[in-house]
Structure 1
């Protein structure tokens, strides 16, 4: 479903001369963003252009295609019954994770809900460690104990399975940033299914009272499990749900629009003007989880129409039109990404399973090195004593 904005909300793009793209990979230049990319609430719009380099544009394409291939591989492994439990894929939503990461720094913080594989990769996880985690392997990113949801890296706080519960956690991270990390922000993401929860709105209130350096982001993929946003929310303009917090709706099927918006939002927050609320309008091509075919609550025609707005295909066409790479170079990159992910998947399948011992079971309950000599079980007789 394309965004439809009233004429008063449309702004002209600052169109750069695309013909002036430099031959050097690292020389900065500016590319335009369509003038219907944003809709604002008590906020001036971000720039309708992005300063970038050919190297970054190519990396953005590689990042999105790697996430897509990672998710397709996870889907395959699940259907082969090698991955158990929940498995939530982000096919169709790659521009959100990639656009955000290319607009912030590794020192900024990020927390999200359970559709987190792409964010884990962009925050520094490896394809091998992510797939190993899905397979329950010892060398998975969470030692095989977290599965699809619970993955973490430095400055990446998950991957959280309780709907909406990560939002107050993200505000707490931003609260801590006020003590000694003045040039950092927290990107605090959740889905449209969490947007009407009380704890989310309570967090907005505290964030604004304390002017926390937090960028709230509602990843609106149009469905909370099998329920459309129209059936779930009396007001589907989620970027206005903060009331006293300025908001922005973004066409998040365009990775460059996401980049521009998040760069702008970070600078706005760091200027001391308090939090922002973004709505990333996107779409998941697959079901809610791999066990959901995604066909009972939406039509094939709808999914086909959304696939015509594929963020990777559209971005690829832009780069070819702009002369950033040729079609043959894009195909070669696609081939390399596929081969790389296939190798990583094979390595993940060859990882050993965790040892079935109580030492491994109770590992990481406490910070390593601070474990007490015993762990209490259900009864005194079930207490486990560390060897």
Structure 2
């Protein structure tokens, strides 16, 4: 039998009173100070190779998705994650599989791949096939896997943030020890519902990490043109939510910051707001020619800040054999080719599926 819905946390104990202003200001600073003091995760060679492999998988998968879109095999909108790979890989590698939950916006393929979900069912979903992870009904923007506690994929800008607060409420209500990681972009950061979610999450001491993926452009509008406060990690200050500013192009810095944030949240201290400075190499979506920025700007990021090339350079500097790296690249290309073939050869949903999954008959 389902538990009755409650508007209050499960515990009958009153939530702990917020610290005095001075103490709270110290708490707001302390996470950023901890991050500045110890910026990069001390990954073993095997761990870094795994991070590299996951980032290459996302890059090659998204490149192939772009090709399939151009061939007309992917319909509707399609937002690629190329350039931002270190964010999802670094953050989600620190989560507890099967325990923690993830929710994001419509640029969601990379997050699912970073969570270890089969590339074949993701590509099948992109192409609208019955074998897709949402049975071909969600497409690029609305993918779910309750098995992996991955809750989308949401097309309404910023709508996933209060839903993430709801997931965090469920973790607290069920006392399951889980944390929700809720991603949103710099454009969504200006949505009012985001701040309502901040307020509730802080008031109820919810176990959630709010993640701003700041790729510099809200669709085609540069951050400095659309945001009065461009340091997004400060946006939680009014709600006494500590923030962290992180280089989202360095997977080891991202992972270390994730460890710090998750330790704080798992300690019962309430939410954290992380800003990941990252960059997308492609347009906002496949229909965006991205004429609002120069080719030189994009090339500068590719040449000097690419997360995959950065990880590769570190592996080589550590003495990892280049053949091991080449073997990963070769294997990933085969995996992506297999996923595309699987998608193209899978049947479309039956017409009768139009009438399924419309509503829940019983709960």
Provide the TM-score with structure 2 as the length reference: 0.87
In structure 2, distance between residues paired with 1:87 and 1:157? 18
Residue 365 of structure 1 pairs with residue 358 of structure 2: yes
Residue 186 of structure 1 pairs with residue 186 of structure 2: no
Within the candidate set 237, 243, 249, 2:245 is matched to: 249
Residue 84 of structure 1 is matched in structure 2 by 75
Q: Which has the higher contact order (CA 8 A, sep 6+)?
A: 2
Residue 45 of structure 1 is matched in structure 2 by 34
Per-residue deviation, residues 64-95 of structure 1 (Å, max 9, x unmatched): 00000110000000011111100000000000
In structure 1, distance between residues paired with 2:279 and 2:189? 16
Deviation at 1:122, TM superposition (A): 2.2
Residue 338 of structure 2 is matched in structure 1 by 343
In structure 1, distance between residues paired with 2:57 and 2:175? 32
After TM superposition, list the pairs within 5 Å mapping 1:253-272 onto structure 2: 253-272=249-268
Q: Could you say what secondary structure the match of 1:52 adopts?
A: coil
Matched residue count: 327
In structure 1, distance between residues paired with 2:80 and 2:39? 30
Q: Could you say what secondary structure the match of 1:178 adopts?
A: helix
In structure 2, distance between residues paired with 1:371 and 1:242? 39
Within the candidate set 66, 69, 72, 2:60 is matched to: 69
Residue 325 of structure 2 is matched in structure 1 by 330
In structure 2, distance between residues paired with 1:297 and 1:181? 47
Within the candidate set 269, 277, 282, 2:278 is matched to: 282
After TM superposition, where is structure 1 displaced by more than 6 Å over at least 4 residues in a row? Answer: none
Residue 212 of structure 2 is matched in structure 1 by 218
In structure 2, distance between residues paired with 1:236 and 1:316? 31
Per-residue deviation, residues 87-138 of structure 1 (Å, max 9, x unmatched): 0000000001111111111111111111100111222421111111111111
In structure 1, distance between residues paired with 2:339 and 2:191? 38
Unpaired runs of 5+ in structure 1? 1-39, 373-387
Residue 97 of structure 1 is matched in structure 2 by 88
Deviation at 1:197, TM superposition (A): 1.2
1:42–1:247 Cα contact (<8 Å) kept:
no
Residue 140 of structure 1 pairs with residue 132 of structure 2: yes
Residue 315 of structure 2 is matched in structure 1 by 319
In structure 2, distance between residues paired with 1:363 and 1:313? 45
In structure 2, distance between residues paired with 1:45 and 1:297? 36
After TM superposition, list the pairs within 5 Å mapping 1:187-202 onto structure 2: 187-202=181-196
In structure 1, distance between residues paired with 2:221 and 2:227? 10
Q: Could you say what secondary structure the match of 1:92 adopts?
A: coil
Residue 350 of structure 2 is matched in structure 1 by 355
Give the superposed CA RMSD: 1.5
Residue 233 of structure 1 is matched in structure 2 by 227
1:143–1:354 Cα contact (<8 Å) kept:
yes
In structure 2, distance between residues paired with 1:50 and 1:241? 26
Q: Could you say what secondary structure the match of 1:211 adopts?
A: coil
Task: Mark the structure with the bigger radius of gyration.
Answer: 1
Per-residue deviation, residues 319-374 of structure 1 (Å, max 9, x unmatched): 11112x222221221111112211121111000011122xx11211234xx379xx
Per-residue deviation, residues 162-195 of structure 1 (Å, max 9, x unmatched): 0001100000110111123352211111000011
Unpaired runs of 5+ in structure 2? 1-27
Q: Could you say what secondary structure the match of 2:173 adopts?
A: coil
2:249–2:306 Cα contact (<8 Å) kept:
yes
After TM superposition, the structure 1 stretch with the greater mean CA deviation from structure 2, 328-337 or 223-232, is: 328-337
Residue 23 of structure 1 is matched in structure 2 by none
2:48–2:311 Cα contact (<8 Å) kept:
no
Residue 297 of structure 1 pairs with residue 292 of structure 2: yes
Provide the TM-score with structure 1 as the length reference: 0.82
Deviation at 1:41, TM superposition (A): 4.2
Per-residue deviation, residues 171-222 of structure 1 (Å, max 9, x unmatched): 0110111123352211111000011111101111111111111111100000
Residue 30 of structure 1 is matched in structure 2 by none
In structure 1, distance between residues paired with 2:125 and 2:176? 34
